[in-house]
């Protein structure tokens, strides 16, 4: 009983400690969501998918006060958004690197969809290396938990038992899975949005699926699979370059394209406006075409 009592007291203390740094975000119809104080001068970080309108955003603070906020910027690919309020002297929480987490560690998910902080806890159920989201954003760690994401918990913190935030909880990255955007990704994205108001992402304008290359082509290309173009968006970089439905992309800018994730990884902000060679298979033959990578709107 002593161990259970100590654990219970620790979890309750963690919630109390974190409460001043957790805010309510009213930026959509229905149930409000949650945000985390990023800086004492009124910067709030939350989930992109819960900010459904850019105007008349309200932030509910720990003391019960409600203040107005404006959207600084958003990154749909990592499901992050940054808001700015006129509030001052806010309580900034401590953040922790995910290096200290392991599968099985107890974590807390906190939310403030109402006036008070709510909590649920579980364990880290999966932890992996960096990965690319279905929207093309790169997260520095794959961090999955078994915590129940109650309505309004998106945008709130995932906390370790020491009271530090390991990530920002979201239900908007993978449907039906409780995920957290790790601190490293949150930090990089917030800093970019504060500086530029947006995160640049490369855009090609194709739908693709992996296909196996014929044995002779595989030997010639030095890889067994490529990406078959199944659709080309009008007026896209792909259409302007002359890519056609049925082409098989095997490399772009010297980078092998074996899986869809390879293409998503390549289309980073650094690729925007770059003129590169795309190596493709068309009519059973290898050929190169020049492509100027666009920017995702």
Residue 67's CB: how many other CB atoms inside 10 A? Answer: 15
> CA–CA distance from 289 to each of 18, 209, 218 (Å)?
54, 20, 19
- The answer on 214 and 169 residing in a single domain is no
247 catalytically annotated: no
Residue 33 has pLDDT above 90, yes or no: yes
Task: Reduce the DSSP state of residue 289 to 3 states and report it.
Answer: strand
Active site residue 135: no
pLDDT attached to residue 137: 84
Q: 133-192 pLDDT, tens per residue? A: 887 788 999 999 999 999 999 999 999 988 899 999 999 888 888 999 999 999 999 999
Q: Which of 47, 154, 171, 178 is catalytic?
A: 154
Q: Which structural domain, as residue segments, surrounds residue 118?
A: 98-183
Res. 49 pLDDT band, cuts 50 70 90: very high
Last residue of a domain, one of 120, 148, 183: 183
- One domain, residues 108 and 176: yes
Q: Exposed (0-12), middle (13-18) or buried (19+): which is 144, by Cβ within 10 Å?
A: middle
**Which pLDDT does position 297 carry in this prediction?**
67
The verdict on residue 285 lying in a domain is: yes
Residue 42 lies in a domain: no
Same domain, 231 and 164: no
In a domain, 113, yes or no: yes
Q: Which CATH number characterizes residue 173's domain?
A: 2.40.10.10
Q: Which single residue is written with the structure tokens 């239900």?
A: 171
Residues 222 and 170 in one domain: no
Q: Of 116, 150, 183, which marks where a domain is finished?
A: 183
Three-state SS at 28: coil
- Integer distance in angstroms from the first to the last C-alpha of the chain? 56
> Is the predicted pLDDT of residue 84 greater than 80, yes or no?
yes
For residues 243 and 287, the answer to whether their CB atoms sit within 8 Å is no
Tell me, yes or no, whether 147 and 225 share the same domain. Answer: no
- Judge whether 261 counts as a catalytic residue: no
More confident residue, 121 or 134: 121
pLDDT score, position 269 = 76
Q: 258 and 225 in contact (C-beta within 8 Å)?
A: yes
Whole-Å CA distances, 97 to 45, 127, 146, 271: 17, 13, 19, 28
The angle formed by the CA atoms of residues 149, 191 and 268, to the nearest 5 degrees, is 85
How far apart are the C-alpha atoms of 259 and 287, rounded to whole Å?
19
User: Catalytic residue among 62, 75, 79, 160, which?
Assistant: 79
Average pLDDT over residues 57-68: 96
Model pLDDT for residues 217-274, shown as the tens digit of each residue: 899 989 999 999 999 999 999 999 999 999 999 999 999 999 888 898 888 777 889 9
DSSP string, 214-267: PHHHHHHHT-SEEEEEEEE-TTSHHHHHT--TT-EEEEETTEE--SHHHHHHH-
Q: What is the pLDDT of residue 271?
A: 84
| Residue listed under structure tokens 């100027």 | 292
Domain count, the chain: 2
Q: Which residue has the tokens 């693709």?
A: 208
CA geometry: angle at 241 spanning 239 and 242, to 5°?
A: 65
Of the chain, the percentage scoring pLDDT greater than 90 comes to 73
65 falls within a domain: no
| Neighbouring residues of 98: CB distance < 8 A, sequence distance ≥ 6 | 127, 140, 141, 143, 166, 167, 182, 183, 184
3-state secondary structure of 184: helix
Position 1 pLDDT exceeds 80: no
Q: What is the pLDDT of residue 10?
A: 87
Question: Is residue 148 situated within a structural domain?
Answer: yes
CATH number at residue 280: 2.30.42.10
Percent of the chain with pLDDT over 70: 99
Asked if residue 131 is part of any domain, the answer here is yes
Instruction: Please check whether residue 16 lies inside any domain of the structure.
Output: no
Residue 58 lies in a domain: no
Q: Which residue has the tokens 């194709």?
A: 206
The verdict on 179 and 236 lying in the same domain is: no
Q: Which among 1-10, 17-26, 193-202, 270-279 has the top mean pLDDT?
A: 17-26
pTM passes above 0.75: yes
């Amino acid at each position: 009983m002593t161990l259970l009592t100590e654990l219970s007291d620790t979890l309750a203390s963690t919630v109390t400690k974190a409460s001043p740094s957790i805010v309510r975000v009213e930026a959509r119809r229905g149930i409000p969501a949650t945000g985390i104080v990023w800086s004492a001068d009124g910067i709030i970080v939350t989930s992109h998918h819960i900010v459904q309108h850019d105007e008349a955003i309200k932030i509910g603070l720990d003391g019960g006060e409600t203040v107005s906020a404006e959207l600084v910027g958003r990154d749909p690919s990592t499901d992050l958004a940054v808001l700015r309020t006129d509030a001052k002297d806010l309580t900034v929480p401590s953040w922790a690197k995910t290096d200290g987490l392991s599968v099985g560690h107890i974590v807390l998910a906190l939310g403030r969809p109402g006036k008070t902080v709510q909590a649920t806890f579980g364990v880290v159920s999966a932890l992996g290396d960096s990965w690319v989201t279905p929207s093309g954003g790169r997260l520095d760690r794959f961090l999955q938990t078994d915590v129940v994401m109650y309505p309004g918990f998106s945008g709130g913190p995932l906390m370790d038992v020491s009271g530090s935030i390991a990530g920002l909880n979201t239900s908007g990255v993978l449907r039906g899975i409780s995920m957290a955007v790790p601190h490293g990704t949150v930090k990089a994205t917030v800093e970019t949005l504060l500086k530029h108001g947006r995160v640049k992402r490369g855009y090609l304008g194709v739908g693709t699926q992996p296909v196996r290359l014929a044995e002779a082509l595989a030997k010639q290309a030095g890889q067994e699979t490529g990406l078959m173009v199944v659709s080309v968006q009008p007026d896209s970089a792909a259409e302007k370059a002359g890519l056609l439905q049925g082409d098989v992309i095997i490399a772009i800018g010297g980078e092998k394209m074996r899986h869809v994730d390879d293409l998503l990884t390549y289309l980073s902000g650094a690729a925007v406006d770059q003129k590169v060679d795309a190596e493709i298979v068309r009519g059973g033959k290898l050929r190169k075409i020049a492509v100027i990578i666009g920017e995702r709107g």
